C-alpha cells in the first residue's frame, strides 16, 4: 500500500509499505480524507514541533476520516480520534486524557499517522458518522474539537466580548464556537485579508489587520474596558500572544492555543500582572468527538466553507506547500479507493 512518509526537513516521499495487521482490539481502516495541520507543516519545515523532533521516517496525519475495511461494520464511514490515552495513569483518572503520560498520537513521535492507504486503530477511538456527513467533514472534526476544548477553557458565556487572534482553521472554528455560545461581539485579527473576510462570514463582528497596530482600535471599540476572553490561535505569530494579553480586560482570561515555531511564548509581564489575567494554555482536546458530530449533523457548525483545497494522494507535495504558504483555509488530501 502507499504511505506519505517524512524522512527529514522538506523531505516527503511516497513509499510502498506493507499493510497493517489489526490486533484484537483494533479495526482495519481504509483512509478516506486527511487534513494537513499546522503541526504537520512544522514537522515538514522544521523536523518536529517544539521539543518533539523527528527520530525516524514518520507517516504524518492526525485529522482524518476512514472507511471500516473489514468485519460486520465494513463500509461504515468513521471519524478517528488520533489521541490514544492509557486510561490508567494519574492524569487519565483525573479526567484529563489529553495530559496522559503514556499518550500515543497519530503522526507524532513513534506513532505513524493516517497518510497511508490502510491503518489499524483501536475500536474505542473511532466514531461512526451519520449519512449526512461527508468524509472531508469527518476529517475536520479533530480541529473542531480543538476549538471546542479552547472554548471550554475560556468559559465563554452569552453577551461576552471575545477576541480570536489568528484566523486559520482553528481560529475560524473558535469564532464559530464563540458565536453559538452566545458571544456578544467577536473581534478577530489576521495578517491575510482573505482570512479576515472568512472570519466575518464565520461570525466575527469586528476584524482588524494584524499589523502591530490592532490593540488600540480593539480597546477603543470596547470603551477601553477590554475583552472578557481572548484566544491566541495564530501559532507562528508572537504578536498574537501579545495582542491577546493587551486586549484582555482586568480579571479576564487569555487562552493560548497556537504552537510557536521557536518553542517560546513571550508577552509583557506587567500587562498581564496589572490586569490580574488568568492565562491558560490549551493542550489538544478531550472527549469532543460526540459533540463535534452533533454540532455538524444538526447544522450548528458548517465545516464545508473552510475546506478550500483538496488534493489527490499523488499531489501530496503541492498539498503541503499550499498549507505552508497559508493559501486558502483548510487543505485536505483524499486517498483513492475508499468509498462509502
Residue 201 is part of a domain; what is its CATH number?
3.40.50.720
Q: Checking DSSP bridges between strand 104-105 and strand 185-190, what pairing results, if any?
A: unpaired
253 within some domain? yes
User: Quick one: 100 and 74 in the same domain?
Assistant: yes
Work out how many domains the chain is built from and give that number: 2
Task: Look at residue 333 in the predicted model and tell me its pLDDT.
Answer: 97
One domain for residues 213 and 322? no
121 plus 18 within the same structural domain? yes
316 shares a domain with 188: no
Residue 271, domain member (yes or no) = yes
227 with 193, same domain?
Answer: yes
**Phi and psi at residue 123, in whole multiples of 5°?**
-60, -30
Do 90 and 151 have their domain in common? Answer: no
- pLDDT for the residue numbered 340: 41
Whether pTM exceeds 0.85: yes
Residues 36 and 90 in one domain: yes
Same domain, 213 and 325: no
Residue 108: inside a domain: yes
- Please enumerate in sequence order all residues whose Cβ is within 8 A of that of 93, keeping only pairs 6 or more positions apart, or say none: none
Is there a single domain that holds both residue 218 and residue 308? no
- 90: phi then psi, degrees, rounded to nearest 5: -55, -45
Low-confidence ranges of the chain (pLDDT < 50): 339-340
Residues with Cβ within 8 Å of 58's Cβ and at least 6 positions away in sequence, in order, are 5, 6, 43, 107, 108, 112, 113
- Which residues does residue 332 pair with via DSSP β-bridges, in sequence order? 35, 310
Residues 177 and 266 in one domain: yes
3-state helix vs strand vs coil in the chain, percent to 5: 30, 30, 40
Give the model's pLDDT for residue 289. Answer: 97
Q: Which residues contact 92 (CB under 8 A, 6 or more apart)?
A: 85, 86, 100
User: In this structure, is residue 298 part of a structural domain?
Assistant: no
**Domain presence at residue 294:** no
Give the phi and the psi of residue 313 in degrees, each rounded to 5.
-50, -45
Domain harbouring 47, CATH code:
3.90.180.10
Cell 483494533 sits at which residue? 26
Same domain for 154 and 196, yes or no, is yes
Q: Locate 91 and state its grid cell.
A: 492524569
Sheet holding 58-59, edge to edge: 11-16, 2-8, 58-59
**Domain for residue 292, yes or no?**
no
Strands (E), the chain: 2-8, 11-16, 26-35, 48-49, 52-53, 58-59, 63-68, 77-80, 83-84, 104-105, 118-122, 126-128, 161-165, 185-190, 206-209, 227-232, 248-256, 278-281, 307-312, 330-334
Closest CA to 45 of 336, 326, 333, 278: 326
Q: Report yes or no on 340 lying in a domain.
A: no
Show the domain range for 96: 2-140+303-334
279, β-bridge pairs: 254
User: What local confidence, expressed as pLDDT, does residue 163 receive?
Assistant: 98
| Residue 92 grid cell | 487519565
CA distances from 269 to 127, 153, 157, 226, 265 (A): 43, 21, 27, 17, 12
Give domain status of residue 297, yes or no: no
- In this structure, the answer to whether residues 150 and 135 fall within a common structural domain is no
248: closest CA among 276, 207, 283, 209?
Answer: 276
Amino acid at each position: 500500500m502507499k504511505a506519505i512518509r517524512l524522512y527529514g526537513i522538506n523531505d516527503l516521499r511516497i513509499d510502498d509499505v506493507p499493510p497493517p495487521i489489526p490486533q484484537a482490539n483494533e479495526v482495519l481502516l481504509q483512509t478516506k480524507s486527511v487534513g494537513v495541520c499546522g503541526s504537520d507543516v512544522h514537522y515538514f519545515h522544521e523536523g518536529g514541533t517544539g521539543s518533539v523532533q523527528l527520530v525516524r521516517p514518520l507517516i504524518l496525519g492526525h485529522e482524518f476520516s476512514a472507511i471500516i475495511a473489514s468485519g460486520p461494520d465494513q463500509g461504515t464511514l468513521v471519524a478517528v480520534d488520533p489521541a490514544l490515552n492509557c486510561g490508567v495513569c494519574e492524569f487519565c483518572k483525573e479526567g484529563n486524557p489529553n495530559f496522559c503520560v503514556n499518550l500515543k498520537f497519530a503522526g507524532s513521535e513513534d506513532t505513524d499517522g493516517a497518510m497511508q492507504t490502510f491503518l489499524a486503530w483501536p475500536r474505542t477511538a473511532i466514531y461512526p458518522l451519520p449519512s449526512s456527513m461527508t468524509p472531508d467533514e469527518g476529517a475536520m472534526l479533530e480541529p473542531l474539537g480543538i476549538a471546542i476544548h479552547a472554548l471550554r477553557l475560556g468559559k465563554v458565556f452569552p453577551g461576552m466580548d471575545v477576541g480570536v487572534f489568528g484566523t486559520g482553521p482553528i481560529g475560524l472554528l473558535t469564532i464559530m464556537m464563540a458565536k453559538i455560545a452566545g458571544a456578544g461581539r467577536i473581534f478577530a485579527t489576521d495578517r491575510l485579508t482573505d482570512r479576515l473576510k472568512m472570519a466575518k462570514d464565520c461570525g466575527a463582528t469586528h476584524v482588524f489587520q494584524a499589523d502591530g497596530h490592532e490593540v488600540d482600535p480593539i480597546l477603543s471599540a470596547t470603551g477601553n474596558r477590554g475583552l472578557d476572553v481572548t484566544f491566541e490561535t495564530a501559532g507562528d505569530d508572537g504578536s498574537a500572544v501579545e495582542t491577546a494579553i493587551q486586549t484582555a480586560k482586568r480579571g479576564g482570561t487569555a487562552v493560548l492555543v497556537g504552537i510557536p515555531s521557536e518553542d517560546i511564548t513571550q508577552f509583557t509581564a506587567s500587562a498581564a500582572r496589572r490586569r490580574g489575567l488568568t492565562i491558560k494554555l490549551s493542550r489538544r482536546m478531550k472527549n469532543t468527538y460526540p459533540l463535534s458530530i452533533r454540532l455538524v449533523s444538526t447544522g450548528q457548525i458548517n465545516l464545508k466553507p473552510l475546506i478550500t483545497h483538496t488534493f489527490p494522494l499523488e499531489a501530496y507535495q503541492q498539498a503541503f506547500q499550499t498549507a505552508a504558504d497559508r493559501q486558502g483555509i483548510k487543505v485536505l488530501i483524499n486517498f483513492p479507493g475508499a468509498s462509502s
